[in-house]
Amino acid sequence: MKYTIDKQEKYSLLRLHEEKLDSSVAPGLKSELITLHAEGVRNIVLDLGEVKYTDSSGLSALLVGNRIVQEDGGIFILTTLSDHTLKLIKISQLDSVLNILPKVEEAIDAVFMHEIEKDLKDSDGN
């Protein structure tokens, strides 16, 4: 699996450099997302700009990433999806479960908004 990770203080940006997110790539993506989470990364932006095709095992990897990050109070955002991947997510009715934004910059802004909202909730609770 070809990818790059840009680790920032509040989030990690994982860019997948593959044309297909299928059964040959999905297990590697799952384990990378789990590893990032285990390293303490709470917010993950997944850039799928180079992915043209996704299958059910790819969707499964995305759902795993979403679940582990949200369980920890973080946010998992998919960005720059191909028409095919977006259609598959909508057909599977996962567009109400997954956070999807058109551009990486918007996804990063959403991470910061999520962190601000989380900080405000935490300070209200104390």
Tell me how many domains the chain contains. 1
The answer on pLDDT for 126 being more than 60 is no
Tell which residue, 14, 22, 96, 1, has the closest CA to residue 48.
14
Query: To 10 degrees, the CA torsion angle through 4, 11, 112, 81?
Result: 40
pLDDT tens digits for range 7-52: 999 999 999 999 999 999 999 999 999 999 999 999 999 999 999 9
What is the model's pTM? 0.95
**Nearest alpha carbon to residue 118 among 83, 70, 84:** 70
3-state secondary structure the chain: CCEEEEECCCCEEEEECCCEECCCCHHHHHHHHHHHHHCCCCCEEEECCCCCEECHHHHHHHHHHHHHHHHCCCCEEEECCCHHHHHHHHHCCCCCCCEEECCHHHHHHHHHHHHHHHHHHHHHHC
Average pLDDT estimate for 77-104: 96
- List the CATH number of the domain containing 98: 3.30.750.24
User: Is residue 82's pLDDT more than 90?
Assistant: yes
Which residue range(s) make up the domain with 87? 3-125
